[in-house]
Structure 1
């Protein structure tokens, strides 16, 4: 069984394998596990004694609530969101825009550049997480009951 801290450690370990890793972005991966966090359309993970709840809120209203006993699904879900967020932030930095007063144009080239960063990151991580990324497992996790229930998530420290 994995604890919340063990899941977070695994996520950070996998992120270290990628070329987009920067310690500045570690909070993107750890924030979803904070008890008070209900990010807008961002993954939220509640680790319980028997399983983990994967949740998502929009304007404070819970829009998704799935349960899984497979910590690998939790790791993958957070990796997907974290890597997407970091890739987007890196594009903002590269093009010197803040998406408040200045904006990315989201041209075909910019979108491809972001996709390339994301795909390269999962290639560097490899294994089942790369396979799940290619297979679109995030969509499955966010739209249907998770099918696998291998290990267990637990709140213990």
Structure 2
């Protein structure tokens, strides 16, 4: 388990990891920092609240809190934000490539477009490597976003 970090220390680590990817661009840094902002409750986006002894992972849908989990594992928090940030950047890059804005013009989300986005995401985690790549391959994001009240997330990842 990692030691508790401040919001800024976590943001710095996330940005350092994003720098390892070919998709990094400073214009996307806001995607990684927004979940840590006081009062932020984006729609189906990660929210992180840093407490004195643990972190709260939260998610809202249309202003209603849909997820609230606590963890002491800094790496879980960093991974969760990395996953969401990389997915968001890959989606933005696809919108730019196909010159659509998803307001007036839309992606068709064809099999090829979805595969292209998936490839960008996998490549980014390959470039980051280590446990974050392993967690990405293992689908840990789904675990983090699933409410399972009996699990103590403070112990890190349990492997079978």
Does TM, normalized by the shorter one, top 0.5? yes
Alignment of 1:1-157 (within 5 A): 1-143=4-146, 144=148, 145=151, 147-149=153-155
Tell me how far apart the structure 1 counterparts of residues 103 and 115 of structure 2 sit (CA, whole Å). 22
- SS of the equivalent of 2:57 reads strand
Per mean C-alpha deviation after superposition, the further-off stretch among 106-115 and 140-149 is: 140-149
**C-alpha distance in 2, partners of 1:32/1:2?**
15
Which segments of 5 or more consecutive residues in structure 2 lack a partner in the other structure?
none
Compute the TM-score of the two structures, normalised by the length of structure 2: 0.91
TM-score between both structures, scaled by the size of structure 1: 0.93
Give the C-alpha shift of residue 148 in structure 1: 5.0
Structure 1: how far apart are the matches of 2:78 and 2:52?
17
CA offset digits 1:83-132 (Å, max 9, x no partner): 00000000000000000000001010000000000000000000000000
Secondary structure in structure 2 of the residue aligned to 1:2: coil
Q: 1:44 to 1:31 in 2, by over 3 A?
A: same
Q: Which has the higher contact order (CA 8 A, sep 6+)?
A: 1
Deviation above 2 Å: which 4+ runs of structure 1?
144-150
Report the aligned-residue RMSD: 1.1
